[in-house]
Structure 1
Amino acid sequence: MTDPSRPIREFHRPSLAEIQTHVLNSYEPAILRGVVDTWPLVQLAKRNRAEMLQYLLDHDSGADVDAIMLRPEHGGRVFYNETLDGFNFIKNRLPLSKVLEQLVRYTQFPTPPSVAVQSALMSHCLPSVLAEHVMPLLPSDIVPRIWVGNKITTPTHIDGSDNIACVISGRRQFVLFPPEQIANLYIGPLDFAPTPSPISMVNLREPDFNRYPNYSIALEHAQTAILEPGDAIFIPNLWWHHVESLDQINILMNYWWGGSNFSTADKTSPYGLMMQALLSFKDLPPAQRQAWGHVFQHYVFSPEHPAAHLPERLHGVLKR
């Protein structure tokens, strides 16, 4: 595996004021060491894994959650199948407690299958846990999600919302790439991916530089960190991130907020509008496509106000 060496900036047991000022008001990722160290689940995970698992079993509502399973030969990497017309995992719905029982059993296997519950709403599967695990940085109506599994790798992808992810049990490695590295990440299909958003086709563990030569440029801009129980990471929306669970049983809680820029269902979301633009402009002659690029740059993306020369009452849809 290629190991990017540039660290993500860190704050050790930061105060709420520090996080608000230096983290949430920036567009840079940050590691928040020990920020949820006092959570009961974290304390149990550090003291006795069996007690932590029993706590979750006792609080499981019995509601079904989405879970995936990969055969051992995939090494835990969530990806496409060999023909790229499907995925390399099977998906099932079952109670969280059943997944936990599987994970405990698989700790005895030399090369176990990879199993993961991904993005399960805690208000659905663990509602009674929420009162003891409060994220004071965010509004109380932002409901966390839980991720539970053994050694699983989620390939480089993006979220359309800001994200704070808190490690409860096990270690996780995060490798982040800034948004402008998109061209060097070799992104897969926009409308068919094993995750809710498109992924990089490059295997970060074993990158094929002959096939993906510019990936070496992306790695020069990568930032990386390994999180321990009690640590959290702030990932701004549209930052690409690769996430790897490193231990036999790994648990993470995360919070997405600020709306979703990456909704495929909402045609007025930035991503939905981008998809419409792709369909609208793909068949235009190259010169016209280039011309429309200038129009979009001027009206949509320019830092300068495109109507600054007009009276404010005439700004119309250009009003900022």
Structure 2
Amino acid sequence: MQQIKEYHGCSPERFLQELLPLGQPVVLRQAVASWPVVKVAQDGPAALLSYLKPFDSGQATDTLLLAADTAGRIFYRPDYQGFNFERSRYPLTAVLQQLIKQSSATPSLFIALQSAALQRCLPELVTQLPLPFLPEPAAGRVWLGNQVTVPAHFDDGHNLAAVVAGRRRFTLFPPEQVANLYPGPLDFAPTGTPISLLNLNKPDYQRFPRAKAALASAQQTELLPGDVLYIPLLWWHQVESLSPVSMLINYWWGGSLSAKPVQPAAFDSLLFTLLSMQHYSPAERKAWAALFQYFAFSGEETGIPAQLPALQNLLQPGQGELPTAARLAALRSWLQQQLADKAD
């Protein structure tokens, strides 16, 4: 398993101009070590709690509770008819207090506060978290828990993940490994996108023989407080919290998860395509795939003479020009009408 490339003392300019365009994950060691909350967390969870209490808005946040027999791995129940956790809502510092209470022993309860909007739960802390590595404004989200594992999944957006407290291990896979990761259902997953059915720490090669190919392409790193990891859009990533108290703040941009989400979301397009393709034969789907490849993904020239601009297709492949707002609005209106007509 490869180690993710690391950079010490990397400037924001170098990251944005040289590293980000490569589309590969990188670790920026100690890139946020100057954050006050990171410095306080070095004195232990109790100091972190004292520091965060005045910032806590009291807003309840999504929190997953897993029994001891789950080993902290967020997943399906053994019968696959549901998930192996209970979902509750608590203020952030209440969760942190509970983590501290059981931090000195083997966890009897695994806890994961998930994707809490920083602006809602710790609004006054936002100004203390400068992150010049972001290419555009992005809203932070807080992740807090003990030794919980989130199985490999992908995000519809680029991700900068900064560790505040504890250690976290990330295992990443490029998007083209999707088939080798045995993804679960698109519409029934414990995360926002499908998860890999593989237990990467105990791979079952008999049930999942392609897992060997996936693991051969894997990249891994362990992050300490102050470290930042860049995860490119659609890269699969498993996240393991290795400490009794672990806190991370992440920022998404460039997809449906960003502060200015891309609409319509590409993930919704995938679901719509699955619905529309279900009645076609393999040969017919192959024919449609050729059209999708040409119109949506190839970026090739249309071959229509430039003197006939009215006949250029919607996205003008290869021209580098986006359609006008009016044209997009007309397309959305047409598509909505098509869906309404077919629903009647």
**Shared fold (TM-score greater than 0.5)?**
yes
Letter in 2 for 1:172: R
Of 235, 246, 252 in structure 2, the residue corresponding to residue 239 of structure 1 is 235
Q: What is the Cα-based RMSD across aligned positions, in Å? A: 1.9
Of 38, 43, 48 in structure 1, the residue corresponding to residue 39 of structure 2 is 43
Per mean C-alpha deviation after superposition, the further-off stretch among 286-295 and 79-88 is 286-295
**Cα–Cα, structure 1 residues 28 and 141, in superposed 2: closer, same or farther, change >3 Å?**
closer
8 Å CA contact 1:261, 1:269 repeated in 2: no
Please tell me whether Structure 1 or Structure 2 has the larger radius of gyration of its CA atoms. 2
Equivalence for 1:175 = 171
8 Å CA contact 1:175, 1:243 repeated in 2: yes
Per mean C-alpha deviation after superposition, the further-off stretch among 283-292 and 117-126 is 283-292
- Size of the aligned set, in residue pairs, is 313
8 Å CA contact 1:261, 1:271 repeated in 2: no
If the length of structure 1 is used for normalisation, what is the TM-score?
A: 0.93
Corresponding position: 1:95 with 2:91: yes
**Distance (Å, rounded) in 2 between the aligned partners of 1:137 and 1:23:** 11
Equivalent residues in 2 for 1:1-320 (5 A)?
A: 5-138=1-134, 141-260=137-256, 268-305=264-301, 307-311=302-306, 313=309, 314-319=311-316, 320=320
**Cα displacement (A) at 1:301:** 1.6
8 Å CA contact 1:99, 1:117 repeated in 2: yes
**Cα displacement (A) at 1:303:** 4.0
**Distance (Å, rounded) in 2 between the aligned partners of 1:59 and 1:105:** 21
If the length of structure 2 is used for normalisation, what is the TM-score?
A: 0.87
Equivalence for 2:336 = none
Unaligned ranges ≥5, structure 2: 321-344
**Cα displacement (A) at 1:232:** 0.4
8 Å CA contact 2:255, 2:262 repeated in 1: no
8 Å CA contact 2:46, 2:100 repeated in 1: no
Deviations 1:233-271 (A, max 9, x none): 000110000000001100000001123189xx9983211
Deviations 1:184-229 (A, max 9, x none): 0000011000011100001111110000000100111100000000
More RCO (CA 8 Å, sep 6+): 1
Deviations 1:138-169 (A, max 9, x none): 36742201101000100000000110000000
Unaligned ranges ≥5, structure 1: none
Kindly, what percent of the aligned residue pairs are identical? 42
Aligned partner of residue 164 in structure 1, secondary structure: strand
**Distance (Å, rounded) in 2 between the aligned partners of 1:171 and 1:44:** 15
**Distance (Å, rounded) in 2 between the aligned partners of 1:88 and 1:66:** 15
8 Å CA contact 1:67, 1:115 repeated in 2: yes
